[in-house]
Amino acid sequence: MKLRTKLAQQGRKARSQPGTVNLPVARASTVVFDSVEHLHEVQRRFDADEPVPTYGIANMPIRAAFEELIAEVEGGHRAVTVSSGLAAVSVAVLSAVSAGDHVVLPDSAYGPGRRFCLRTLKRYGVETTIYDPLVGAGIAALMKPNTKVVYLENPGSHTFEVQDFPAIAKVARERGAAVIHDNTWATGIFFPSFEHGADLVIQAATKYPGGHSDLLMGAVVANEAWWPRLRDTHRDLGQHASPDDVFLALRGMRTLDVRLRQHEASGIEVARALEKHSKVKRVLHPALPSDPGHALWKRDFKGAAGLFAIELAASEAQSATFIEALELFALGYSWGGYESLVVPAHIEGMRSVRPWTGGPLVRLQIGLEDPSDLIADLEQALAKIG
Ligand SMILES: *Cc1c(COP(=O)(O)O)cnc(C)c1O
């Protein structure tokens, strides 16, 4: 079956009467058993790693269905569900490190995940080195005997640097470090992380899998070798996502492929229009031939998300005027929903290796509106900055 077929077909095994297209939401702490023998039998299957429910936190059918499907989309072995994308970052990293270990993390990584490594992980005796996302095979120079995690985010948050993923993953493999990739931007549909050498893949399901700005959830997908460590760490940390949110995320997954292709097309159309504008100094979008990461994007990706940034030829005050003049772009964090969003990308305090020295950076999430309306809105707002 092709992926698009799986998105519609998988995880729908009828488990209730009457049979319905979608699985029902079971709100539950307790799973009840028919007999002691039944309880022991289910527990034996659970211990043998079958996705059978024993308690509300473990393997409830709707969650098992979501995990099966997201593992399929990312091209991995199995997945766990967590309460947010940020929790997916921490669960993935905690699965791969012990006290005394060393992590290397790109300067362009999602800010709160970076802070988790530099602040909380540090308290547990794990050291983090921030690296230039464009380092490529040069990552070898940063590897220490205790480097256990090589983290990637391709492309990076806010500045969208494209990493030489295969080159970095190859070095990590040779040195015995786990390759962890935050694949939220592209998803497995546009970037097959495991084929490029990942061991653990992070997906903020809040974004494209959910797709409607109405839930917070994350997932971590492992290859076969890393699955037992991910499963045990996830279980020990007591991570969970509510069945209502899992229902919505699974529902969002059914249309993930078609939505992504529209976000891609509209995003490129809007980016091209902005590139021509005199008030826009640079468009940071790897699918544009003018982008420094374009060649690598073309080599490794199958498509582009609808999230990119623009550098304005303007002052900070003019940037705020532009943002507030927008009528179709709501001002707020997060992205991946059907609606367009804008946020000033204040990355100054979040970069240490490649500090941002350009003008005001504004991040745009291109939603499913007609792109000509979005372009007209952006143009009228740019005109307001004089
Ligand atoms: C949003 C985001 C996250 C975190 O997801 P939340 O569900 O908002 O916690 C992680 N990584 C990337 C790249 C993101 O954009």
Check pLDDT > 80 for residue 95. Answer: yes
Distance from Cα 110 to the centre of ligand 1, integer Å: 7
Distance from Cα 204 to the centre of ligand 1, integer Å: 5
pTM score, whole prediction: 0.96
Is residue 340 within 8 A of residue 364, CB to CB? The reply is yes
Q: Which domains does the chain have, with CATH numbers?
A: 1-88+199-253 (3.40.640.10), 256-383 (3.90.1150.10)
Give the tokens for residue 323.
């943002």
Report percent pLDDT > 70 for the chain.
98
213 ligand 1 Cβ < 6 A: no
Report pLDDT digits (tens) over 281-302: 999 999 999 999 999 999 999 9
What is the per-residue pLDDT for 349?
83
182 ligand 1 Cβ < 6 A: yes
Distance from Cα 112 to the centre of ligand 1, integer Å: 8
What is the per-residue pLDDT for 16?
59
271 ligand 1 Cβ < 6 A: no
CA distances to 102, 123, 188 from 127, rounded to whole Å, are: 5, 9, 29
**Residue owning tokens 């802070």:** 115
Distance from Cα 111 to the centre of ligand 1, integer Å: 9
- Angle (CA) 94-97-101 rounded to 5° is 140
What is the per-residue pLDDT for 20?
85
C-alpha 362, offset from chain centre? 20
Identify any residues that bridge with 80 across adjacent strands, giving them in sequence order.
220
Nearest residue by C-alpha to atom 8 in ligand 1? 85
Report pLDDT digits (tens) over 297-324: 999 999 999 999 999 999 999 999 999 9
Distance from Cα 193 to the centre of ligand 1, integer Å: 17
Mutate to test the pocket of ligand 1, among 70, 81, 86 (most ligand atoms within 8 A of CB): 86
The SS3 assignment for 341 reads strand
Check pLDDT > 70 for residue 28. Answer: yes
Rounded to whole angstroms, how far apart are CA atoms 31 and 60? 9
Report pLDDT digits (tens) over 34-73: 999 999 999 999 999 998 999 999 888 999 999 999 999 9
Report pLDDT digits (tens) over 208-251: 999 999 999 999 999 999 999 999 999 999 999 999 999 999 99
Reported as a pLDDT band with limits 50, 70 and 90, residue 17 is low
86 ligand 1 Cβ < 6 A: yes
